[in-house]
């Protein structure tokens, strides 16, 4: 079995607002092994992106990691100073952001931005860095790389920009690649090409991928292991086939029921009733209880803990604790 590359231990990331403290990442624990693709899935506002930004050390000034730990190859990222983190970031771990147009600097060419990433972490001349940049642009499937290297972000399409972001992320062959909704703003054909490219990267370099998404189709296609988040917490995790075949948490079951299935006609698609909870000042209870058809009295007064069920399958739900206690 491959060894653990990244491990989150009881991670807590809070944001301090005028309304109160937002527990965006609330006691989150999971790991990513070498060469593994872990998909973190859940609806908007569940803490997926903040978890990724916590790993990269890119939390905004209004937020902070208040407790827990993040281990990268058994080294605590939270105990490193800014210089050590900068050395790792972009070199051993890299991130593809959701909106490439806002992540790339509009006043520099894409080549200049690739060259900057290369020269930050490797001792090479600018001329050699430009040669490497052109090779990287070709590697991510962009034609006319020697021309595109001199283009500005606004001159390229969304799909090309996302490929440039992947090229920048791959410039130093990172061990961990975090992809935050990398296909959200792209049409279906380009989405498939980007996912193929990520699979190719994983196969060629044995790169571990942490893929943030709300698209269960992407999860089914890409994941080895799935972590389901809700209200800042991990509520279920399992190998991908096990999760799709035997979802345990009522929220996961609802997510899978709401996805259209080819060959099945329905008058209306299923939707989970109710709304996502406001994360400001949440107390101790199951955050899904207001929307759950199986809600019991204990769900509204105590928080269920993530427990192992049937090997590698874990779920945080009082429904299963009740059954286990019978």
One DSSP character per residue, 130-189 reads HHHHHHHHHHTT-SSHHHHTT--GGGS-HHHHHHHHHHHHHTT--SEEEEESTTTTS-HH
pLDDT at 324: 40
User: Taking 60 as the threshold, does the pLDDT of residue 326 lie above it?
Assistant: no
> What mean pLDDT do residues 238-256 have?
94
> What mean pLDDT do residues 49-69 have?
93
Domains with residue ranges and CATH for the chain = 4-81+175-276 (3.40.50.300), 102-171 (no CATH)
**230/178 Cα distance (integer angstroms):** 20
**129/114 Cα distance (integer angstroms):** 8
Residue % of the chain over a pLDDT of 70: 97
- Confidence category of residue 110, pLDDT binned at 50, 70, 90: very high
pLDDT at 1: 66
User: Taking 60 as the threshold, does the pLDDT of residue 325 lie above it?
Assistant: no
> What mean pLDDT do residues 7-19 have?
94
Sheet of 233-239, strand order: 93-96, 176-180, 208-213, 37-41, 225-230, 233-239, 313-315, 307-309
User: Taking 70 as the threshold, does the pLDDT of residue 282 lie above it?
Assistant: yes
Report the chain's mean pLDDT, rounded to a whole number: 90
User: Taking 70 as the threshold, does the pLDDT of residue 169 lie above it?
Assistant: yes
pTM, full prediction = 0.91
Q: How many angstroms separate the Cα of 118 from the Cα of each of 113, 121, 134, 168, 271?
A: 9, 6, 12, 8, 46
């Amino acid at each position: 079995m491959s060894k653990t590359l990244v491990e989150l231990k009881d991670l807590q990331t809070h944001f301090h607002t005028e309304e109160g403290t937002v527990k965006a990442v609330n006691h989150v624990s999971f790991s990513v092994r070498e060469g593994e693709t872990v998909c973190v899935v859940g609806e908007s506002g569940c803490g997926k992106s903040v978890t990724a930004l916590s790993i990269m050390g890119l939390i905004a000034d209004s937020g902070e990691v208040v407790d827990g730990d993040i281990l990268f190859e058994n080294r605590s990222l939270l105990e490193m100073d800014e210089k050590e983190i900068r050395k790792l970031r972009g070199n051993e771990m890299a991130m593809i952001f959701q909106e490439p147009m806002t992540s790339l600097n509009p006043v520099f060419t894409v080549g200049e931005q690739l060259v900057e990433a290369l020269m930050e972490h490797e001792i090479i001349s600018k001329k050699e860095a430009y040669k490497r940049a052109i090779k990287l642009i070709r590697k991510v499937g962009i034609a006319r790389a020697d021309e595109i290297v001199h283009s500005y972000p606004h001159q390229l399409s969304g799909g090309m920009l996302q490929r440039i972001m992947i090229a920048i992320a791959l410039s130093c062959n990172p061990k961990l690649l975090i992809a935050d909704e990398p296909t959200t703003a792209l049409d279906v054909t380009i989405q498939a090409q980007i996912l193929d490219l990520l699979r190719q990267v994983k196969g060629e370099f044995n790169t571990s991928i942490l893929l943030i998404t709300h698209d269960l189709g992407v999860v089914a296609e890409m994941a080895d292991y799935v972590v389901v988040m809700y209200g800042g917490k991990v509520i279920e995790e399992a190998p991908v086939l096990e999760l799709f075949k035997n979802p345990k948490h009522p929220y996961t079951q609802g997510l899978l029921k709401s996805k259209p299935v080819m060959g099945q006609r329905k008058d209306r698609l299923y939707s989970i009733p109710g709304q996502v909870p406001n994360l400001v000042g949440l107390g101790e209870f199951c955050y899904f209880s207001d929307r759950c058809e199986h809600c019991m009295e204990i769900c509204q007064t105590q928080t269920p803990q993530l427990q192992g069920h049937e090997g590698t399958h874990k779920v945080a739900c009082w429904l299963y604790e009740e059954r286990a206690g019978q």
